[in-house]
Amino acid sequence: MTWIYAPPEAELGELIRIFFQHVAPALVGYGAFGVTLVCGVMYLWKGGLHYDVLGAAAVKIGLFYTTVTLLSGMMWADAAWNSPWNWDPRETTTLILWIAYACVLVYRASVTDRESRAQYGSIFGIVAFPMVILSYLSIRIWQTLHPIVIEPTGLQMEMEHGLTLMVSMIAVIMIAALLLELTYRIDTAQEKLMRIRMSRS
Amino acid sequence: MQQFELFVVAIIFWGGTFAFLLYLLLRMVGIEKQLKVVESQAEGDL
């Protein structure tokens, strides 16, 4: 649909096709960080390492989609605004968001104690979440090059483009769910492997 | 020029997705192999 169904836009022309591969990963990335937030709260509230493993898996998925968002955004900005990086509030807050969650992963990789990794990893996952809200609201708080497309009244675009965005969203959510499920299973197996090795040594 | 940008974005999106998927599958195969070895060693210890 992105390549065939969606018609060229009056101002952007064919570049509108980048929009679907830019906005859908961005929103799915925000959603993945939301999963990390919920898992962090659940771990601190109920305990249970599976919450921690799922939260960490969601950080990886969120980082992957935020990376796709930043790179596709740079390609779009280069074509539309003649510069790949403009220090626009949305770009800057998304970059800070990426760095914040990358720090969560680096922290988790650097701590060997399972309990403190889960505890502080959950706390960092919760503390980093306001950056998601700030990144989402940045185009409403500051003056920015980014257009406001998603309004409370609906999508500010042509019907065909709105429909294509919806289908892109569903597709990216399904791919992200598959990647999250696989990452969770692998990380759970890795935990089991570490536990067996530690009990033997 | 626009075609080039569209092509690069498609590579970023789909290339990234398939590379991530391949990485996960390879990791899964590696960990399952290691788990089998460690579990069979643990059974041998008993």
pLDDT (tens digit per residue) in B1-46: 577 888 888 899 899 999 999 999 999 999 999 988 887 887 776 6
- Residue A156 in 3-state DSSP? coil
Q: A68, B5: Cβ pair inside 8 Å? A: no
List C-alpha distances in Å: A15 to A22, A156, B27: 11, 17, 36
The answer to whether residue A14 neighbours chain B at the CB level (below 8 Å) is yes
Chain B neighbors of A22, CB-CB under 8 A: 9
Q: B16, A64: Cβ pair inside 8 Å? A: yes
**In chain A, where do the E strands start and end?**
150-151, 154-155
Over residues A115-166, the pLDDT tens digits come to 899 999 999 999 999 999 999 999 888 888 877 777 777 777 778 888 888 8
Chain A neighbors of B2, CB-CB under 8 A: 13-15, 79
Over residues A156-199, the pLDDT tens digits come to 777 888 888 889 999 999 999 999 999 999 999 998 888 888 88
pLDDT band at A32 (very low <50, low <70, confident <90, very high): very high
Cα–Cα dist B16/B7, whole Å: 13
The answer to whether residue B33 neighbours chain A at the CB level (below 8 Å) is no
To the nearest 10 degrees (0 to 180), the angle between helices A49-81 and A159-200 is 140
The answer to whether residue B38 neighbours chain A at the CB level (below 8 Å) is yes
The residue of A193, A194, A195, A201 whose CB has the most chain B CBs within 10 angstroms, and thus the best one to mutate to test that interface, is A193
The answer to whether residue B2 neighbours chain A at the CB level (below 8 Å) is yes
Chain B neighbors of A64, CB-CB under 8 A: 16, 20
Kindly identify which residue of chain A lies nearest to residue B5, measuring between CA atoms.
Answer: A75
